[in-house]
Amino acid sequence: MDKSGSAFLPRILFFNVNGSGMGHLNRCLAYARQLREQVCPVFFSLSSAIEIIEEMGFKADYFVSHNWSRASSSEWNRELCLRLGLMLERVRPAAVVFDGTWPYQGFIHACREYGKAKIIWSYRGLHQADKIKPFLYPDMFSMIIRPGEVGDEFSFEDGDFGCPQVRVPPVCVLKDDELLDKVQAREAMGLSENGRYALFSLGAGNINDVEGVGVGLIQQLQNAGFEVIWANNPISVKDVVLPEGVRPVSAYPLVRYLRAFDVFIGASGYNTCCEIVQAQVPALLVPNTDTKLDDQNRRAYLVARHAPIIVSRCGNESEREASVRELLQLAGMHIDRKYLVPMNGAALAADTILALANR
Residue 228's H or E segment, with its range, is: strand 227-231
The closest of 59, 82, 55, 120 to 250, measured between CA atoms, is: 55
Instruction: Say how many CA atoms lie within 13 Å of 190 toward its Cβ.
Output: 6
pLDDT tens-digit series, residues 194-247 = 999 999 998 755 434 556 778 889 999 999 999 999 998 876 666 778 889 999
Beta-bridge mates of residue 168: 147
Phi, psi of 229, deg, nearest 5: -115, 135
Give the Cα separation of 14 and 26 in Å (integer): 11
Q: Tell me what pLDDT residue 207 has.
A: 39
Of the ranges 5-19, 82-96, 108-122, 127-141, which one carries the lowest mean pLDDT score?
A: 127-141
Q: What whole-number percentage of the chain has pLDDT above 70?
A: 90
Which residues belong to CATH 3.40.50.2000 in the chain?
Answer: 6-172+343-357, 176-331
Give the Cα separation of 170 and 138 in Å (integer): 24
Q: Tell me what pLDDT residue 181 has.
A: 97
Of the ranges 110-124, 151-165, 265-279, which one carries the lowest mean pLDDT score?
A: 151-165
Contact 253, 174 (CB under 8 A): yes
Of the ranges 46-55, 134-143, 163-172, 347-356, which one carries the lowest mean pLDDT score?
A: 134-143
Give the Cα separation of 356 and 219 in Å (integer): 52
The closest of 169, 134, 267, 251 to 213, measured between CA atoms, is: 267
176-331 sits in which CATH class? Answer: alpha beta
Phi, psi of 130, deg, nearest 5: -80, 5
Beta-bridge mates of residue 228: 198
Beta-bridge mates of residue 165: 144, 157
Give the Cα separation of 262 and 268 in Å (integer): 18
Tell me which CATH homologous superfamily contains domain 6-172+343-357. Glycogen Phosphorylase B; (3.40.50.2000)
* pTM as predicted: 0.93
